[in-house]
Amino acid sequence: MITLGVFLTATSELVVSGILRVLADDFSISIALAGQLVTAYSLAFAIGTPILVSLTSRLERRQVLLGALALYVLGTALSIAATSFAILLLARVVLGVSSGVYLVAAFGIASKIVPAEKVGGAIGTIILGFSSSLILGVPIGIAITEWLGWQAIFALLGAGALVVAVIIARMLPAIAGDEAIPLRKQWKSLGSVLVLAGLLFSFLREAGNSVLLTFLTPFMTDIWKLDASRIALIMLLLGVVGAAGSRLGGYGVDRWGEKRVIVASVTTHVAALALLPLAAGSYLTGIGLIALVMLAMFVSGPAIQTYFIRQSKDSANIVISLNTSFIHLGLAAGAGLGGVMAEETSTLLYHPWGAGVVVALGLAVLLLGYASNKRRSSLADIRGGTEPGITGKNHA
């Protein structure tokens, strides 16, 4: 049920990218301006989530999920009623905040109800809700837009959220909130080199993803001249790949550890992005490369969340919420950068290269963080008298 809620909230985020052209035409705006609906959602998610998560950290988790879903239903209602672009932007803000709180609560619950060695798999299941929104949410959203109009998408999402809320209220057991750990102590974990490097990595990784994914539907239309029905089918296939990736990533974390999974998947991710513009003459090759991007992106998802849970056990909720904020700040920055690139170059062909450079920078930051932490640990061992050959109380 929690994963189904993630599916609904993720669909409200992702579906806009699939119908950007329709929204731009309906409100008589440019495709670049329409893309800022993604920016508004992401900024609201990034700024509002840590604040509300901090305020609700001690509340029983079921109450937090239900409150987030109630706010989400309000956002869908505003979307349906939007008669201007400004109202739709406001609706995106409400949807962004509610989705952020719901997602952080979902990750926190997943990490509490399974053994420590199974956290990766549990996080992978939650992320499956996100990848499933690509399998079903975005393609169905595109189809519903053609049949009934884009407002019908949000009507269905709101109705679905109400059903999930009723089931959660009746079936989910009570789960206590966080212990009363002083806020200063919780925020202290942010001084960790690994946490800071991880947050910067999340920002750059998602900024790179957003450069391409925000404009993925127009990219396929402009570069390969694909129609809406074919794009919907492709998004369906990409979603299947993403779902497989999230499960594979969860398994990989439990088997090999998050560091190896992150490095292998992000390296593959960057390589596929680098090759994508070279496939402009063959949409089959290009779709294969986009599928590889999706697979790598979702494989790394459980690894990144597990990374933060294990680096900040006493302040996991704050760090996870900040990570989601950095993710959505990255999405907003990427959408903005993608819009600028579209305006300046008058083509979407080079968006994958821009995306690849930014994602590669993120991996470099994370690897530097690992290296810096290793050096600090080595110096601490030496100063504490634990280097090889030293004996005494500290060594013991």
Pure H helices in the chain? 2-18, 20-26, 31-34, 36-55, 61-81, 85-112, 119-132, 138-148, 151-171, 183-188, 193-213, 216-224, 228-256, 258-275, 283-311, 316-345, 351-383
Q: Are 22 and 146 in contact (CB under 8 A)?
A: no
Q: Are 262 and 296 in contact (CB under 8 A)?
A: no
- Distances from the Cα of 381 to the Cαs of 370, 387, 393, 394, in angstroms? 17, 6, 13, 9
* Model pLDDT, residue 141: 81
List, for residues 105-163, the tens digit of each pLDDT value.
888 787 777 777 777 778 878 888 877 776 777 778 888 888 888 899 999 999 999 99
pTM: 0.71
Q: Are 164 and 69 in contact (CB under 8 A)?
A: yes
Closest listed residue to residue 44, CA positions, set 75, 84, 2 = 75
d(CA 124, CA 244): 10
* Model pLDDT, residue 387: 47
List, for residues 71-112, the tens digit of each pLDDT value.
999 999 999 988 888 899 899 999 999 998 999 888 878 777
**Which residues of the chain carry a pLDDT beneath 70?**
134, 177-191, 312-317, 377-396
Angle separating helix axes 351-383 and 193-213, nearest 10 degrees: 170
* Model pLDDT, residue 379: 63
Q: Which long-range contacts (CB under 8 A, 24 or more apart) does 279-287 make?
A: 280/223, 280/224, 280/349, 283/220, 283/223, 283/224, 283/226, 286/223, 286/224, 287/234, 287/237
d(CA 143, CA 150): 9
Q: Are 293 and 373 in contact (CB under 8 A)?
A: no
Domains and their CATH numbers in the chain? 2-382 (1.20.1250.20)
* Model pLDDT, residue 79: 92
Q: Is residue 305 packed enough to be buried (19+ CB in 10 Å), middle (13-18) or exposed (0-12)?
A: buried
DSSP string, 342-385: HHHHS-STTHHHHHHHHHHHHHHHHHHHHHHHHHHHHHHHHHTT
